[in-house]
Amino acid sequence: MPHDHTTITDSIFSLLDTADPEAASILRAEDDRQSSTIELIASENHVSPAVMHAMGTCLTNKYAEGYPGARYYGGCEHHDRIEQLARDRAKSLFKCEFANVQPHSGASANAAAFMALMQPGDTFAALVLKDGGHLSHGMKINFSGVFYKPVFYPLHADPDHEQFERIDYDKAREVCLEHRPKLLLCGYSAYPREIDFARFRAIADECGALLMADIAHIAGLVAAGVHASPFPHAHIVTTTTHKTLRGPRGGLILCNDEEIAKKIDKSLFPGLQGGPLMHIIGAKAVAFGEALMPEFRGYSQRVVENAKALAGALTERGFRITTGGTDNHLMLVDLRPFDAELTGADAERWLEDAGMVSNKNAIPGDPRPPKHTSGLRLGTPATTTRGFGTKEMEMVAGWIERVLRAKGDAQEAGRVREEVRLLCEAFPLPGHEHAGARAGV
């Protein structure tokens, strides 16, 4: 049905359609995929039109090596202002003294933090990777495992313990007292429970370590006051900007200590990176501005409510949620009680066929290899952005049950795919608000 609305996305694409139809058709296909499927990957989100636009600006044309007021190139007047704005907003958001907004990604932020606080060969402590840590927390072939010496603390492994699958703070303390790491690292990629930063700081103090919190996943919840802040406990905080914080893809480093801040600035540039991605820094400023608005708190609260609703609805349908639930935006689903034969890899593929995008994930103590896994990681930042509430999360749980019960049967997947598409049309993505009109509904 013809319509006279032009969405923001239409106007971006109309230019590309003429300039480069081949690239435009691929980008349109991806835009359609995102619009018509339910994004359940816990580390992904849909940015606002303002953030999307800020990334595509003249800021990309400029070299601005250095920092505001101390650049290696001329013509940086406005770049200084936008980077300062991003820094100031980041500091207000996380209530801290120093912010470096230049890391290209969360992994670069972690590399810079390690380089600022440790010498090659130094020991650091982190969570056992397969229990929810990130590869930049000590994976053998990652910079963190090649240049530094990781020692690992576990989750509680005893199913009869009330803290089963939660961080074992006593073991973390034992590991730290035994190995005396320079750095104690907390903050994870697949941990559904609140992190006790004060408890980690006490352990760090006792063993003479600095405390680093990588809040890549929970940054938006922290900024909104929905998860406890790592400040004042952590000496250094790293994060991504594109997950719950809903900004452009990138990293951020925060601290309260001037000496540490100077070391971070030096280790990031010229230590690790060259020219900063100024267009992304511009978009970080815009995203931080959005996160400072009162609405962002409501959004973050709904992210957690939705995660709890999805976890509850899946439990009712026979799945087991590790730790018995979630305090944040994500959950780990143990598929075995629902179907002992079902792997995370199969579940991921079958759900995608039905329009629900997720990722397989090891569950703590998973007997299956990482290629297969017994679990799925699900998150609600993206579905909450498009307006889903607890009712829609229950619908999602019902579809997950149907698809997995049918073991990937193509007809059932097709029926669910159609229902998913209709729900997606009723909840268009930011910047696609007239997409329903385009589809004639």
Residues lying near ligand PLP in the complex (CB under 6 A) are found at 43, 105-107, 110, 134, 136, 187-189, 214, 216-217, 240, 251
Q: Which amino acid is at 264?
A: I
How far is the C-alpha of 1 from the C-alpha of 438, rounded, in Å?
7
Closest approach of ligand PLP to the CB of residue 181, in Å: 18
Query: What number of other Cβ atoms are within 10 A of residue 27's Cβ?
Result: 15
Catalytic (active site) residue 72: no
Residue 282 vs 379, nearer CB to ligand PLP? 379
Closest approach of ligand PLP to the CB of residue 295, in Å: 25
Closest approach of ligand PLP to the CB of residue 342, in Å: 25
How far is the C-alpha of 106 from the C-alpha of 250, rounded, in Å?
6
Residue 94 vs 338, nearer CB to ligand PLP? 94
Closest approach of ligand PLP to the CB of residue 217, in Å: 5
Residue 216 vs 234, nearer CB to ligand PLP? 216
Closest approach of ligand PLP to the CB of residue 206, in Å: 24
The residue count of the chain comes to 441
How far is the C-alpha of 67 from the C-alpha of 83, rounded, in Å?
8
Residue 237's H or E segment, with its range, is strand 236-240
Query: What spatial distance separates the first Cα and last Cα of the chain, rounded to whole Å?
Result: 9
Catalytic (active site) residue 67: no
Catalytic (active site) residue 63: yes
Residue of closest CB approach to ligand PLP: 106
Closest approach of ligand PLP to the CB of residue 136, in Å: 5
CA distances from 164 to 156, 160, 161 (A): 5, 7, 5
Give CA angle at 227 (223, 233), nearest 5°. Answer: 85
Q: Record the tokens describing residue 254, joined without a space.
A: 């925060």
- Could you tell me the sign of the dihedral formed by the alpha carbons of 277, 282, 286, 289, in that order? positive
Catalytic (active site) residue 409: no
Catalytic residue of the set 7, 9, 239, 240? 240
**Backbone torsions φ then ψ of 317, nearest 5 degrees:** -95, 10
Catalytic residue of the set 31, 214, 327, 392? 214
Residue 114 vs 338, nearer CB to ligand PLP? 114
Closest approach of ligand PLP to the CB of residue 246, in Å: 14
How far is the C-alpha of 11 from the C-alpha of 189, rounded, in Å?
36
Q: Which amino acid is at 429?
A: L
Catalytic residue of the set 95, 149, 249, 297? 249
In the chain, DSSP finds a helix count (H) and a strand count (E) of: 17, 15
Residue 277 vs 435, nearer CB to ligand PLP? 277
- Could you tell me the sign of the dihedral formed by the alpha carbons of 127, 129, 130, 135, in that order? positive
Catalytic residue of the set 17, 62, 63, 315? 63
Using a 10 angstrom Cβ sphere, with 0-12 exposed, 13-18 middle and 19 or more buried, the burial of residue 403 is: buried
**Backbone torsions φ then ψ of 83, nearest 5 degrees:** -70, -40
Residue 142 vs 374, nearer CB to ligand PLP? 142
**Backbone torsions φ then ψ of 321, nearest 5 degrees:** -95, 125
Catalytic (active site) residue 249: yes
Catalytic (active site) residue 412: no
Give CA angle at 279 (273, 284), nearest 5°. Answer: 90
Residue 83 vs 214, nearer CB to ligand PLP? 214
Residues catalogued as catalytic? 63, 65, 214, 240, 243, 249
